[in-house]
């Protein structure tokens, strides 16, 4: 045991000296001065560095974002009661297809009955006023009526006509057929758009107030909108000639057309909204669903470099740019992913410059 301890006592200083010697050799492989680094030509690091010239090439950019499915504008409508009243009959069920203007339910409403009564009273008053005006015009033409009296008759007829028109406008809120209107008929609330009943809370006998939640909803979802948010830089490049693909978690894929690219950034996320339209014949894209959206821009000239050339610094990404053989500087760059092995340079590099494309990982301080 004493012999082993003696051997270790002899070897430890030797091993320590070897470690220090290796450390000294590593420090001599390259030297940093600020952001510049000079590599020793005789060090193993020099042979590991792959230096390439930066060049432009044709590139079709692709950006992926998360999107949410929404009904198209004008393809979703909630139906509420126009006035307080009682539901007397439900004319549709959940899942039914309806056309625009088709009655959905009937209701009894004192406000409606009052509007109908006022409409017919105004109609009778208008007809009487117009008949009276015709008689007075004939009397005035024969010289038996004064100018003041004929003007009064004309004013009465005009006022009666205006009152009748106002009552018709009041009834238009109920969307009734004014030409076949009858006293005592219930209100028939109709579908504002064609589509399918996707929500229904219709209960005959239920009394509903005009400020209550909608009783039914109609949606036409053969085509839907996708809302996605992209970065400011991406938004400036998505435009004419761009196209997009929408992918669901189930693997369903559809080609989408770009409807609108937002011109105002969200102050919280610094992103712009892009609206897309996607065919949905089988209704697999349901409002509220999250999907993946991949945007493809028209082919253009761009600077592409290997992903191995880019490193993450404290405040930004950077590359090693060659100043002269084995002499480099760390330069900040803005890049965007261009696949698994390449990135697109947005700023910081110009065509013709030379960079360390691979091996820069060995230049660690």
Domains in the chain: how many in total?
3
H helix intervals, 274-358: none
Give tens-digit pLDDT for 46-66: 999 999 999 998 887 777 889
H helix intervals, 109-175: 110-141, 147-172
Asked whether residue 131 falls in the same domain as residue 225, the answer is no
Asked whether residue 108 falls in the same domain as residue 210, the answer is yes
- Confirm whether 19 is domain-assigned: no
pTM (global) more than 0.85 = no
- Confirm whether 163 is domain-assigned: yes
Q: What is the CATH number of the domain that holds 91?
A: 2.40.50.100
Asked whether residue 90 falls in the same domain as residue 192, the answer is yes
Of the residues 298, 330, 346, the one at which a domain ends:
298
Asked whether residue 249 falls in the same domain as residue 267, the answer is yes
What is the distance in angstroms between the CA of the first residue and the CA of the last residue of the chain? 43
Q: Is the pLDDT of residue 356 over 80?
A: yes
Over the chain, what is the mean pLDDT? 85
**Which residue did the predictor score with more confidence, 130 or 144?**
130
Of the residues 273, 298, 323, the one at which a domain ends:
298
Q: How many CA atoms lie within 13 A of 129 on its CB side?
A: 20
By residue range, what is the domain housing residue 162? 76-219
Asked whether residue 198 falls in the same domain as residue 94, the answer is yes
- Confirm whether 10 is domain-assigned: no
Mention every residue, 6+ apart, whose C-beta is less than 8 A from residue 317: 310, 311, 332, 333, 334, 335
Of the residues 199, 219, 239, the one at which a domain ends:
219
Smallest Cα–Cα separation from 254: which of 219, 289, 218? 289
pLDDT bracket for residue 12 (50, 70, 90): very low
Asked whether residue 150 falls in the same domain as residue 256, the answer is no
Q: What is the CATH number of the domain that holds 246?
A: 2.40.30.170
Smallest Cα–Cα separation from 239: which of 265, 266, 272, 210? 272
């Amino acid at each position: 045991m004493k012999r082993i301890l003696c051997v270790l006592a002899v070897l430890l200083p030797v091993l320590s000296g070897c470690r220090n010697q290796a450390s000294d050799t590593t420090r001599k492989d390259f030297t940093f001065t600020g952001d510049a680094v000079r590599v020793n030509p005789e060090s193993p690091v020099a042979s590991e560095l792959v230096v390439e010239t930066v060049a432009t090439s044709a590139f079709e950019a692709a950006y992926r974002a998360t999107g949410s499915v929404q009904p198209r504008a004008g393809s979703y409508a909630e139906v509420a009661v126009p006035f307080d009243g009682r539901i007397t009959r439900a004319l549709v069920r959940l899942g039914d297809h309806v056309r625009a203007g088709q009655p959905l339910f009937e209701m009894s409403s004192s406000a409606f009955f009052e509007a109908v009564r006022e409409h017919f009273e105004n109609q009778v008053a208008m007809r009487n006023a117009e008949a009276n005006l015709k008689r007075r015009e004939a009397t005035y033409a024969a010289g038996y009526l004064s100018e003041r009296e004929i003007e009064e008759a004309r004013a009465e007829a005009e006022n009666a006509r205006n009152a009748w028109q106002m009552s018709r406008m009041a009834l238009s809120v109920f969307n009734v057929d004014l030409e076949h209107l009858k006293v005592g008929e219930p209100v028939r609330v109709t579908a504002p758009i064609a589509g399918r009943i996707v929500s229904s809370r219709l209960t005959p006998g239920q009394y509903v107030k005009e400020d209550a939640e909608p009783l039914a909803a109609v949606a036409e979802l053969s085509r839907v909108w996708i809302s996605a948010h992209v970065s400011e830089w991406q938004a400036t490049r998505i435009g004419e000639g761009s196209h997009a693909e929408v992918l669901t978690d189930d693997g369903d894929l559809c080609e989408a057309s770009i409807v609108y690219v937002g011109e105002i950034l969200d102050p919280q996320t610094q992103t712009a909204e892009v609206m897309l339209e996607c065919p949905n014949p089988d209704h697999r894209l349901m409002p509220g669903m999250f999907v993946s959206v991949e945007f493809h821009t028209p082919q253009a000239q761009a600077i592409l470099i290997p992903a191995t050339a880019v490193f993450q610094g404290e405040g930004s990404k950077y590359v090693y740019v060659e100043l002269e053989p084995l002499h480099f500087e760390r330069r900040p760059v803005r890049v965007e992913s261009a696949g698994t092995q390449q990135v697109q340079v947005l700023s910081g590099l110009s065509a013709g410059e030379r960079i360390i494309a691979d091996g820069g990982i060995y230049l660690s301080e």
